[in-house]
A and B are shown apart, each in its own frame.
Chain A
């Protein structure tokens, strides 16, 4: 167990809908990362937050957004969902973004029907 908690584990929703994925980082970790894992694209970095502030953006669609709250948990919001958004979404955390390893949660499997 990495200590990173993601909820829900599974999510099934219809096209056009909006969902929110939640991540609680390991105790003491200030940096949170979101990744998407799909069969065709592999594991892709989406976005990073550090102590509440956005720090880096990767291949994140405009329909997706995220935030990190004062208690350091993070949420990834996915809107106007399309079939192609079906994937595993992972959250990872680290103590700080520059020198320490990132530990991954168990993921949320999103299925868009």
Chain B
């Protein structure tokens, strides 16, 4: 099963709050898990990525939490800002094929001032 399941489809958060987006996968051959951010009219931009040998990775206000046994990973956006309003995609790829990404369906995040 190559699918990556992402939830929620949409999310509304108040400025300063924490945004949490979850993804689950089935394929145990996946070993690279990036998150992409996409603004309207733009291409997806790499935000942060993790490999299964670590359980958490933090870059600024963005944190990936990874649970290998549960085959789940999530993106936490701390101190969410209106400028974070965008669509977020989780993705996964197999070892040796890092650019051949299987994407989740996306989460549209709106951060209210």
Contact = CB atoms under 8 A, between A and B. Distances in A.
A92 interface: yes
A69 B104 CA distance: 31
B45 A97 contact: no
A33 B100 contact: yes
B96 A98 contact: yes
Interface residues of chain B: helix, strand, loop or mixed (majority): loop
Given A104-B44, A105-B43, A106-B43, A56 B49 contact: no
A99 B45 contact: no
Contacts, number: 64
A33 B100 CA distance: 8
A97 B100 CA distance: 8
A45 B97 CA distance: 12
A92 B99 contact: yes
B78 to A, nearest CB: 23
A57 B99 CA distance: 12
Interface in A43-83: 43-45, 48, 56, 58
A32 to B, nearest CB: 9
B43 A42 contact: no
A98 B98 contact: yes
- Among B45, B100, B102, the most chain A Cβ lie within 10 Å of the Cβ of B100
B89 A103 contact: no
A31 interface: yes
B13 interface: no
A102 B101 contact: yes
Given A101-B34, A101-B46, A105-B43, A94 B100 contact: no
A98 B100 CA distance: 10
Contacts of B41: 106
Interface of B: 34, 36, 41-46, 49, 89, 91, 96-106
